[in-house]
A and B are shown apart, each in its own frame.
Chain A
Amino acid sequence: MTDSSTTKLEVDIAIATEGLTAEPKSFGKLARERFFKHKLAIAGFIGLVLIASIFVLGPWLSPWAFDEPNVLNRRAGPSRDHPFGTDTIGRDLFVRTTMGGRYSLTIGALVAVLATLIGTLLGSAAGFFGKWIDTVVSQLVNLVLVVPAIIVLSVVALRFGAQPVGIAVVLALLLWTRIARVVRGVVMQFREQEFVMAARAAGAGSGRILFRHILPNVFGAVIVEITLLIGLAIVLESTLSFLGVGVKPPTPTLGNLVFQAKGDINSDPIRVLLPGMFIVAIVLCVNFLGDGLRDAIDPRSRADEKE
């Protein structure tokens, strides 16, 4: 490095031979590569697409309506006409399960999006600015955590009716605290990193530092929490249905299907198992997908590691 002309020469050579060296890959391309190296993530992704397409196509393909009872054909086992059998008042369970899957997935996704928005916004503000903002947000988180979800939900359900979207909004208002706590912690940790000081020294303001420099680093930690949240929301909704404050029948969800069939678990376990298996499958797929996404968006993890 003592001789700058050598450097110049090296650079000239580098530029001249540019076509020979591999072009650097874009972030998107690298992320895709890393994601496709992640076998479980692909399995999760394919599984989710499959499940979602069954939910979308099922009610459309089936000749039955989800709320059409047939008292002559109650508690039937799986057959050609009713692949999943029928329930206690003779409604086709295949249509009800796929319809219920639509509602459950929608609720899970909606809760995840809303809770992530609220949680990230409040959590990052608390972690980054500290002081009174942190106090207010932390106390709010504690407050929400001690509020019994069931009571709030039953009151809301009684007052506004148990619509899937309404349930999702209320669940999001209760579950954002998990995201907020994770984001707050990670932001606090990154706030002290030297690159934040370096960004300040380069003339960046607070907003730019928070949104451009810190939040992208937080995403990896949050994506896992988000996927857990989707599963949790689906399960929580099921619990609420069981207590009669969730989405009300005849509108099916995977959760209330399980609980409607609970009395027959000894004689007719398939009616519990089928929707239950969908819940488990969705939660698993989403978690695998989250793992893969986290690795994919982290530039430090390498696509060629396992080669």
Chain B
Amino acid sequence: MNAPGAALLEVDGLNVGFKTSDGLVRAVTDVSFRIDPGEVLAVVGESGSGKSVTALALMKLHPRSAVISGTAMFDGVDLLALGDADMRAVRGNSIAMVFQDPMTALNPVFTVGFQISEAVLAHNDVTKKAAWARTVELLDLVGVPEPRQRASQYPHEFSGGMRQRAMIAMAISNDPKLLIADEPTTALDVTVQAQVMEVLREVRKETGAAMMLITHDLGLVAGAADRVQVMYASRLFEAGAIDDIFYDSRNPYTRALLGSIPQVDSERTERLLAIPGNPPSLLNPSPGCPFMPRCSERVERCTEELPTLLEIRGREHRSRCHLAQELAPISEVLP
């Protein structure tokens, strides 16, 4: 492992906007974060909060209409400044991605093994035979039973969970340093979700890869992440170690998210808490806090002034809220 302080990925002031006929839509606004070697950073937020766009921008897979600024230092190079050819050498090699829907992320007309071995061949000068052997080994690693046989099958012969395993096998085929998993379990049912998270944990143990886990499922985060960052309306709202977020959140939005997780032991008559209202438009944002209209803690100041990302108690815990220091302990607010 690197010396402390040497981040694997250091994103600074990332902005992503999309030009539309109505003006610039800001999908990611001034986002800065770091991922250390081997750690898991969970990025949490509602649909449209900018979490996926952040990941796509890092891989430079965003639509061409996007306008991007900022830096993303990965292993000493700025990803955002890389040319097409250089970026291709990074993709699938030192940074790999696992997609949300394994049903559509595999090409239906090729065998699963062919597609994985292609990922191996794309970045290594090896024979097809060697690539195939590696493919079988990878499928074995992600827990696909009978990997030799399964490698010659087509995606439609795989179940959803098996396909996601195959996608993970493809992602780790070149021993990436960073794995970006964009809602890797959203399209799967709950029992399979747990298996896939377990596979991700196993392969990270094997390869030592760091992971950026994008999800809207805080339950998933609890068991998997080292650090969490919460995004809302294109901005970072809170970031910190997992315990700081879950047990000492200093942000009303994070608290609202935590409050909306169903509890098994809650009274049956209790209604599931939802956050009222909708996220704001990302076109011409108002000057105040974007969460203000939905916030239960709002004060006068919130309508006029966007809170800054405040450092809390010197730990690596930051929150975007005027009241970050004054909020009541989380145990008094949530059951």
Query: Which A residues are within 8 Å of any B CB, using their own CB?
Result: 1-2, 4, 7, 10-11, 14-15, 18, 21, 23-27, 193-195, 197-205, 212-213, 216-217, 298-300
Contact = CB atoms under 8 A, between A and B. Distances in A.
B198 A198 contact: no
Interface in B228-269: none
Interface string B126-146: 000000000000001001011
Given A14-B148, A203-B89, A194 B105 contact: yes
B194 to A, nearest CB: 8
Nearest to B59: A201
Nearest to A199: B107
12 contacts: A11-B145, A11-B146, A14-B149, A27-B111, A194-B104, A195-B107, A195-B108, A198-B105, A198-B106, A203-B122, A204-B92, A204-B118
B310 to A, nearest CB: 35
A300 B101 contact: no
Contact of B145 (A4, A10, A201): A10
Contacts of B109: 216-217, 298-299
A195 B104 contact: yes
Nearest to A215: B109
Most buried by A among B90, B109, B198, B202: B109
Contacts of B119: 202-203
B216 interface: no
A300 B111 CA distance: 11
B99 interface: yes
B105 A195 contact: yes
Contacts of B99: 194, 197-198, 201
Interface in B189-217: 195, 198-199, 202
Interface string B143-165: 10111110011101000000000
B92 A216 contact: no
Nearest to A27: B111
What 6 A-B pairs have minimum CB-CB distances, sorted nearest first? Answer: A24-B152, A202-B92, A203-B92, A201-B97, A194-B104, A203-B91
B146 A203 contact: no
A14 B122 contact: no
Given A203-B92, A299-B108, A299-B109, A14 B199 contact: no
Contact of A193 (B104, B143, B145): B104
B88 A21 contact: no
Nearest to B123: A203
B61 interface: yes
B218 interface: no
B41 interface: no
B195 to A, nearest CB: 5
A203 B97 contact: no
Nearest to B55: A201
B176 to A, nearest CB: 10
A25 B111 CA distance: 11
B28 interface: no
Given A1-B198, A205-B88, A11 B140 contact: yes
B167 A198 contact: yes
Most buried by B among A1, A201, A213, A298: A201
Contacts of B100: 194
A24 B106 contact: no
Interface in B70-114: 88-93, 96-97, 99-101, 104-111
A155 B182 CA distance: 60
B170 interface: yes
Contacts of B97: 198, 201
A201 B146 contact: no
A18 B151 CA distance: 13
Contact of A195 (B59, B61, B106, B145): B106
Contact of A300 (B104, B118, B156, B198): B156
A25 B149 CA distance: 10
Most buried by B among A7, A10, A24, A205: A24
Contacts of A4: 143, 202
Most buried by A among B111, B123, B140, B167: B140
Contacts of B146: 11, 14, 21
Given A15-B148, A193-B104, A299-B109, A201 B61 contact: yes
Interface string B181-193: 0000000000000
B100 to A, nearest CB: 8
A193 to B, nearest CB: 6
Contacts of B105: 194-195, 197-198
A205 B87 CA distance: 10
A204 B118 CA distance: 9
